[in-house]
Structure 1
Amino acid sequence: MTEVGYKNATRTPQVRFVENESLAIPMFSVLGQEGEVDDSADLSAVDPEQALNIYKAMCFTRVLDERMVAAQRQGRISFYLTSTGEEAASVASAAALADTDMIMAQYREQGALAYRGFSAEQFMNQLFSNELDLGKGRQMPVHYGSHKLNYMTVSSPLATQIPQAVGYAYGQKQAGEGAITLCYFGEGAASEGDFHAALNFAAVLDAPVIFFCRNNGYAISTPAEEQYAGDGIAARGIGYGLKTIRVDGNDALAVYLATKEARDICLSINKPVLIEAMSYRLGAHSTSDDPSGYRSKDEEQKWRQFDPIERLRHWLFAQKLSGQALWDEVQDKALDESLRAEVLAAMKAAEQVPKPRLRELVTDVYDTPTLELQRQQEALEQHLAQYPEHYPKTAGRV
């Protein structure tokens, strides 16, 4: 039979439907939960010292999350999102990138930013929206951004960063920068139209972008089985013509190796890649969410045995460097204590920093504030002057 229609399509006289089961995609994983390595796994591209840095950033993220949930419950900040149980997905993938690569995050990838060097002080300044906040106090908590670290500022609308990442990556290719863009999102965001448009554009335009889906099982309260009937998100990448891999999102080394290879593909042949990292959100969706309303404690406990930090810790304990143990229990305890002290000190310091001056609220929205912005600024100042008792934190900060 001659080839007709789409490339690789051949004619057949039989009525034969392709079913979901025939396209099941395997999951790449190299570490067992006790840190044991699969006999067939190739870890030659893993530097043990870099793996230790990944581990430290994961631990920092866990401590930061615990402290800030407590701070929100105490009324010290208004909102927070944890990445508990998903630290390997963000940190290890960021570790596989070059510093010049752009990261476009959703809102649960603080670990990637921590790995790139965003300090505890910088995290706290953003969370408390003080005058040292790089976002000038204009964003809600966890909407981080850093021009220096090539981490695009987070925005609330779901999935908008996915097509934006395609455009940015296409620009990188056109400029010949030798850099790529990695875009994070959850499987819930993959239900948005922006996701589908982005994958199609990336495949057609050959944009060097990595679409990194954290499939944590829930789109807020909606479980994955109520979101889609297909074989996860990875199958969609194949449907749009993308090179695709599914990886164990709780295995930091597998995430690192998969992302490293994906970046090589993006740079060498200017092709987009989709990575689906299978994980589980151990915490609530946000501090505004109560997961007990849609899942059981037994389910959460089952997933705690797959804690990505525990898995990498076991592997590190078994590593030798110049004949000496790379990491041990004493060092691990000292790390935990130092991180908790660092985060607490940064939080206390950030609370004392004044809020940005209200006069700076619109100064750089445009080169010169429009008349409408000026009128709004004046109306705000008049309102505050009339009701100062309701806005104590603005006193003297106009």
Structure 2
Amino acid sequence: MDASVAIALVLALDSDKPPGKRRKWSKDFFLKRETYGHVNLLQELRVNEPEDFHNFLRMNAPSFDELLGLVEPLIRKEDTVMRPSISLSERLSITLRYLASGNSFEDLKFLTARSPQAIGKLVIDTCEAIILCLNRHFLMPKTPEEWIMTSDAFKLAWHFPNFLGAINGKHIPIKKPVKSGSFYFNYKKFFSIVLMGVVNANYEFTMADVGVNGRVSDGGVISVTEFGRRLEEAALNFLEPEPIVHNGRNIPYVFVADDAFAMSEKLLKPYGGKLYHDQRVFNYRLSRVRRISENAFGILSARFGVIRNTIQLEPEKAPTITLACCYLHNFLCKKSKRYLRGGNVDWEDSNYNVQTGDWREGQHQLEGLGICRSRHIGEVARGVQDSYRQYFCREGRVPWQDAKIEQ
């Protein structure tokens, strides 16, 4: 058969077939995003409903504008011949809504009239920009003078001398990574990565380390962080403090933690077992400052739903999301009067009774690390613990502590 005749026959046969459904370049409502997207809604909230604007993005309009100015150089994209780039304001607002709500990219496409693929890309890019731009709000003290300022703030607010920070660790839920087995499966029976942080007297993170697999659920997690290595190697650059001499022994600078971590001479924990009066006093005084980290993590999870829901991303991307929330937490601690206003965090009334913060009413608080099973406590570490215990019961005594340990 002649080739031209064969081609004509094929075309004739094809013409008899009903026309197939053509694949769309874009969904219709994506093309009408000026009508259906959230940008117009956000503008309406900014002008007429500032409270709802705050709830939508977890910050007020001035804070949003300041943050936008900081990240703008890093998230700006050029228009192409195919389509205009997503505006800077839209990129940031989509990212903040994702962090606040924890909704999936698939769900956010209905709010934003953007494809889940575009949302996923811009969220990671913007979170990376947030981390870079807010670095000045997230600094571990680097000089002896800065450590002294940190210690003085704790002494003034919490009557705890030579104290440098409260350490805590939480599990951040993630979807099961492909072919990961039980590597990320924690003792609470879900998949996670670990967020470990150090918190100062103002409820701000001075250090956060994210990404250790959830299976590491005891005190060993601190040893694989940069902070833990520097603490162990005495490389945090704080000097020995002016001595608080008691019973012939100086009281050094310390951090505090709960039972998830192993005690050392620089990391204090509560006494365990059957306790006598002075040990209960020590535990009470320690619990007051340790509550700072509990509140910081509690506020973080209450404000940013993405970290208390299961992050539907690979373990390589989930730390970026989590760190961005920590950086925004510090930014808002400084910029927003309402972020830590009375009632949001635990507080003590005039009789030093603890009134619980609003964040504790949530049903999805972050899971803590498992208890460290090591019972060995070195002689030097025990000596530091005992020195603080003696100090709190004598010259460092506060008048209400005996009543509190009897309650």
Shorter-chain TM-score tier:
under 0.3
Of structures 1 and 2, the larger Rg is shown by: 2
TM-score in terms of structure 2 length: 0.24
TM-score (norm 1): 0.24
